[in-house]
Amino acid sequence: MPGPRDSHLPFALPDITDEEIQAVTAVLRSGWITTGPETKAFEQEFARYIGVGHAVALNSCTAALHLALEALGVTESDEVLTSTITFTATAEVVEYLGGRSRFIDVERDTLNLSPDRVRETIERQYDWRDGFWRHRETEGRLRAIVPVHYGGHPCDMETLLAIAAEYELKVVDDAAHALPASIGGRRIGAMGCPTAFSFYATKTLTTGEGGMFCTDDDSLADRVRLMSLHGISRGAWKRYAADGSWFYEVVDAGYKYNLTDIAAAIGRVQLRRLEQMWERRRAIAARYDREFASVPEVEVPSVREGVRHAWHLYPLRLRLEQLQIDRAQFLEKLRKRQIGASVHFIPLHRQPFYTQRYGYQATDFPLSEQEYPRLISLPIYSRMSEGDVESVTAAVRDIVQESRA
Ligand SMILES: Cc1ncc(COP(=O)(O)O)c(C=O)c1O
């Protein structure tokens, strides 16, 4: 049995090698450090990897989600359906545009947005009037669905896309956790709907901060590109190039969401290393699964047939009725054993901003309310050694043993 750790195991660590450091150094020495040739190359390589027509590099996934909804024409009269078990970024972008986000409960096994609940919500709360599904109370027009691939397990995209087609809704895919996830060999990002990826520091591919918007639609890609740089008709790289022209036009009030070449250089190396980093996370997940199979007080994440899980998170569910402690005490015991762990996510319907704005009731989200108090996220990242993984499993076993009901 391994002894207690002598140092804290962080919940997440970026996997940065000398290759990324050298790539950044080269950009710093090059004389061009903001959006330019590295970003262009990163976009092309990313689009090829995903199997999608366009990739637009941005400074966050939040920016990608915001610009996607903007490009689809979401405004203050509109409503967007999404999962309650997600990060606030998924919903706040609807608020940026003055629209209303409407939260939906999740599926029991994956904790992903439930297609059944989506359909039920539309049928119960919206009527078809004047060419739109309008909410019976707010009169808001239902415009889009935003699936979230919780932890990296793909959503049931076939059903969600079919519902969207049936009700004439757009889909913007929040794939912040879903690189490199796929369904039947087709990558998330190539599902036929605009998709947003995150390269935040804890993600499966990181550029420190960063994101990517993917689409096959030429006009959506053009709009996102335009609005990502002040609504200016041509980027600075083109203007300042040797054969560039000083002239540009502001055609809309855009945003400042571009990715720098410094970040893109990290991203290009990370993309080359992505499969190898994913293999390591998959091996860690497999080891957790094996070790916890003999611990009935915890429930390991289930993976559906035919999907590839990105393993951004490893959400373990506690069987609280078999333990004398609650989730907060469990996390505290992990912390005392030097294991960093977390909770993903406090459901958005419980967050004060959304509760006050929309008046959500816990009873509207029975599954999220049942699962959230049992959820903990264990560390899962490619830099973890076998010893690190073992210290996590040993700590979980130890806590379970001393806390059995
Ligand atoms: C589900 C989800 N969507 C969107 C985001 C936002 O990503 P970013 O930090 O790149 O804006 C996150 C960030 O963690 C997330 O977890």
For residue 62, report the distance from its CA to the centre of ligand 1, in Å.
6
pLDDT tens-place string over residues 311-358: 999 999 999 999 999 999 999 999 999 999 999 999 999 999 999 999
Task: State CA 51 to chain mean position distance.
Answer: 19
Q: Does the predicted model carry a pTM greater than 0.75?
A: yes
pLDDT tens-place string over residues 70-96: 999 999 999 999 999 999 999 999 999
Q: Are 179 and 172 in contact (CB under 8 A)?
A: no
Question: In the structure, which protein residues have their CB atom closer than 6 angstroms to any atom of ligand 1?
Answer: 60-62, 86-87, 89-90, 148, 174, 176-177, 198, 200, 211
Atom of ligand 1 nearest to the CA of 150: 1
Q: For this structure, is 336 an active site residue? A: no
For residue 280, report the distance from its CA to the centre of ligand 1, in Å.
22
Q: Are 153 and 180 in contact (CB under 8 A)?
A: no
Report the distance separating Cα 84 and Cα 112, nearest Å. Answer: 9
Residue-averaged pLDDT of the chain? 96
Maximal C-alpha separation, the chain:
74
Q: What b/e sequence results for 360-389 when a residue is b if at least 16 CB atoms lie within 10 Å of its CB, and e otherwise? A: beeebbebbbebbebbbbbbbbbebeeebb
Atom of ligand 1 nearest to the CA of 174: 3
Q: Cα 90–95–101 angle (5° rounding)?
A: 60
For residue 112, report the distance from its CA to the centre of ligand 1, in Å.
15
Report the distance separating Cα 47 and Cα 190, nearest Å. Answer: 9
Q: What is the mean pLDDT of residues 147-174?
A: 98
Residue 282 to residues 275, 276, 389, Cα–Cα distance (Å)? 10, 10, 12
Q: Which of 11, 58, 61 to mutate to test the pocket of ligand 1 (most atoms within 8 A of CB)?
A: 61
Residue 291 to residues 274, 321, 384, 392, Cα–Cα distance (Å)? 26, 21, 16, 10
Confidence tier at 2 by pLDDT (50, 70, 90): low
pLDDT tens-place string over residues 361-395: 999 999 999 999 999 999 999 999 999 999 999 99
For residue 86, report the distance from its CA to the centre of ligand 1, in Å.
9
Cβ neighbours, 10 Å, residue 15: 18
pLDDT tens-place string over residues 218-234: 999 999 999 999 999 87
Q: Is the omega angle on the peptide bond into residue 180 within 30 degrees of 0, that is, cis?
A: yes
Report the distance separating Cα 359 and Cα 250, nearest Å. Answer: 40
Token pair, residue 93, equals 């972008």
DSSP character for 349? G
Coil, helix or strand for 404? strand
Report the distance separating Cα 259 and Cα 256, nearest Å. Answer: 9
Adjacent-strand bridge partners of 102: 81
For residue 347, report the distance from its CA to the centre of ligand 1, in Å.
14
Secondary structure (DSSP) of 368-394: HHHHGGGEEEE---TT--HHHHHHHHH
- Ligand 1, atom 9, lies closest to the CA of 200
Atom of ligand 1 nearest to the CA of 63: 11
- Ligand 1, atom 7, lies closest to the CA of 61
Residue from 45, 168, 151, 49 nearest 107 by CA: 151
Coil, helix or strand for 199? coil
Q: What is the pLDDT of residue 244?
A: 80
Of 203, 238, 256, 336, catalytic: 203
